[in-house]
Structure 1
Amino acid sequence: MASTPELDIGQKLNEGKTKEIFELVGQPGLVLVQSKDQITAGNAVRKDQMEGKAAIANRTTSCVFKLLQEAGIKTAFVKQHSDTAFVAAHCDMIPIEWVCRRVATGSFLKRNPGVKEGYRFSPLKMEMFFKDDANNDPQWSEEQLLEAKFSLAGLDIGQCEVDVMNRSTVAIFEILEKSWATQNCTLVDMKIEFGVNVKTREIVLADVIDNDSWRLWPAGDRSQQKDKQVYRDLKEVTPEAMQMVKRNFEWVSERVKLLLERQAGGRVVVLMGSTSDLAHCEKIKKACTAYGIPCILRVTSAHKGPDETLRIKAEYEGDGVPTVFVAVAGRSNGLGPVMSGNTAYPVINCPPLTPDWGAQDVWSSLRMPSGLGCSTILSPEAAAQFAAQIFGLTDHLVWCKLRASMLNTWVALKLADQKLQACSI
């Protein structure tokens, strides 16, 4: 591959059935992942050239990795470089395919006779396959993976690392499943791979995720499948058949861009009784921004100006934008109850408690008259999270950030425990 003005491309580091990996001269820790026009099935027992596949695959995988990164998933992806290539962190790949299944189909049915196609896995079904073309990628157990004692980029793959990959695979699947549901598509199953970043020695999602990586059934109907299974099922590879396969791949590469778009808008309106509460409110706004939720700060007092409070409320009810109100009022909190009694939108009390009277003041937020449904959350960050959970019911991008945050919290605790145990030994 010829060098470009932007990148000085060095030697080829690796080559697979559908891509090549090149070093980037002068940029240690980064590589170029170049897609190929080849399409394969059955460990390349069947393989053909599909003109334009490299560009289609690169568009798809770049969009998928952008979606996952914006949610908060750690990946090797850095940026799309060209129509057919992207820049990624250099990783030592862990030779395991992690397969996550929501619906029973394909090879699972062959290995588990008696299970009917369409059986739904709740929770998700996890499987591992060792990457070994000569032996048709045999299925492995967790025990086999641990006994293999892989060591990559200076990181030993033990129980902690296996648990992290297992947990991450579930989260990644659920994020993509939720996203594809916005296009009325069922994510049936998916295979992904992890690598160890050679600079940070951190496990990250690596390789690619394109239309070779999953099964997608529009409207949950297998007869409408848009993935590589269409190619696998061909009785005869003809130019006409390959055009049909290509159209399916193009359909996915166009639709996947829509996964990056918000399906529903929303906002948080923070009402504070006084500007003395501004620092508390700014924390709510900062946390909302991290979830991608617009946040507006207003000053109003339900005690001193109830008519103005209700006018502000009506202002945000009148434009049709889904809204969560957060009432920030200390001492005697009349703001949250008045709002809750006069709007059908959710209201969250988030009183800024002080050390002297906080224990007494909080009861004005907790002890509500009948007919009021406002909740009380003391932490400003937690109030923003609760608002995000409300919006996440209809906005998949907010939901994805929440799901990734759950994963990252779990992984941080797992790694902290591992580090503590190592210090104790």
Structure 2
Amino acid sequence: MDYSKMPNRSVACIDMMSFYASCMAAIHNLDVRAVPIAVVGNFKQPGSIVLAASPPMKKRFGVRSAVTRLYDIPSHPDIRLFEPKMAYFLEMSMSITRILHKYVPAEAIHVYSVDESFIDLTGTEKLWGDPAETVREIQKEIFETLSLPSTAGMGPNMLMSKLALDLEAKKQGFAKWRFEDVEKKLWPVSPLSEMWGIGGRTEKSLNAMGIYSVGDLAHTSLDILEKKFGVMGNQLYHHAWGIDLSRVDTPVPVGQVSYGKSQILMRDYNSIAEVKAVMLEMCEDVAKRARDASKTGRTITLGIQYSKNALGGGFQRSRTINEATNETMAIYAVCKELLSENYDARPVRQVSISITKLENEQSVQLSLFEKDNWREREIGKVMDRIRNKYGSTAVLRAISLTDAGTAIKRSALVGGHKG
């Protein structure tokens, strides 16, 4: 690979260490690197998920974010448990961004998530000196100002900076990767899902082709990868060589490929009527997001996760319909069919719904045999305008007023958790 023709910039990816746990540690004057801390969604729900765990909590007690539940956390005098303060977390995130603005202009910052950002320091050498030292200075200021420890990766592009962060910096605080490091540091990576951008399903497909490491991927024919994965095959090949042409100021636009919602219920739902109630609320939310974007979907997917008290498990099933839709009741009708065909009457603890195979709404033709289609669409859009103006609970379906409904309770949350 001729790297001399590739952009070689000074890009950093800065990530806060156990962000939610670090924020709570800052409030209570604790050291997140020394104290076992867990942030739990809701103390009143024993099955509430752990949103964040400090490094000692992970190492000493095996508590993992998004996996461990409140009832799994051992009773120990050293452990500190906190409920989330989402509004505070968002304010801390904005404070981090304000610090970044001191070093680079707004167009050189890409906020990747609430606790992670890319910054392009190319051309700042005359102001701040060596970019690597500047990143360390930024980390120092964030810690001294906000009491938030961080890790950072640097590279010649966004991909390499992220890989340096995930694969090396999270162990030692800072790492810088160059193109010449690809063969030694990137190619040995296995399993493939350890690499940013490769999920479990793609990993299985690649394994079936005899590709088990990033080095294997780099030495697979580009034609073979494109034939198997299309455009994504081209991206996989070049990423395996550390090549990424996207820029922080003009990140590659990724089109929305689905609209979905997943919800861990606050209690076990023991009847099909209760499950249908929350399903309808979620269909309403998914359909509204699609309508707001003037999109419709042809494939509808329902996922059900059973309660741990019922030995867990569940199912995920999809159905493709003849005409793409963004109508709440049309999506709900398909979900009811999938539920009826697959539900085995065990208590439900998680529901997920999504629509994929998206099309532009304008491309959908109304059926001549369904005269009320246009009316249903107009009613949906009117309800959307009211909710957009006055809030998500301005117009509710009656089902939301029952014990099974969650829309009213969730409307008071920030990011799905207490503000």
TM-score normalised by the shorter chain: which range applies? under 0.3
Larger helix share, 1 or 2: 2
Larger strand share, 1 or 2: 1
Higher relative contact order (CA 8 A, sep 6+): 2
**Larger Rg belongs to:** 1
What TM-score do you get using the length of structure 2 for normalisation? 0.25
